[in-house]
Structure 1
């Protein structure tokens, strides 16, 4: 499935804002809500993510169709990475290990900001690197006789 890359930048902008609020307030509940957003994007699909729906309804009709689409696998992987950092952050805040909550949130914020401001999706690049190192159908596997 293909997705509009502009939607990913809008979602990253919203995520950046939410994660800044988490760092300012120390709210593990807000970080947990962001983790749910990440989980929906990673597990169900970007199109069904709350930020994806906001983009489809409020932004895309005003800016028109994209010049090109991109494969959804890398951004979905990136959402999964965000989910891991958000879950670690929630655990840190909820268990009283504030430094862990702050650190995990800050890492997620850094990645979201890179995408929102510069269009550089760190999780997408990780996905592509992993795919190069571990391809799906490796030709060097032994074929049983």
Structure 2
């Protein structure tokens, strides 16, 4: 009887250790990819920039408030034609983005960044973010 109990406990421990080994060998981004991310305002700007530079239009939408996306749908930004046109213009004209400062006040934040365009002109940009469903989103 004792052998069966020990084998049962030993079997559980072996399975548990095997599970730990499998999880430890998975790439960290794969393990955490389904977890909700809480980005800071600066990280939100960087994530938007990275997605825009890669031309990932749908990914960039995760970092922008719904009212801006609705504005594009309703033709509020005719210069760009569409949200995709805006991202295309951003991608084609932006060389790099460097965060300079961040200030959070309650559910709003200001991020100042230095944006370098394709002709190496550096411009200071101020991004206004707000919390939407608990996540920082670009509002202006």
TM-score by length of 1: 0.30
Bigger radius of gyration, 1 or 2?
2
TM-score by length of 2: 0.31
Q: Which has the higher contact order (CA 8 A, sep 6+)?
A: 1
Greater strand fraction, Structure 1 or Structure 2: 2
Greater helix fraction, Structure 1 or Structure 2: 1
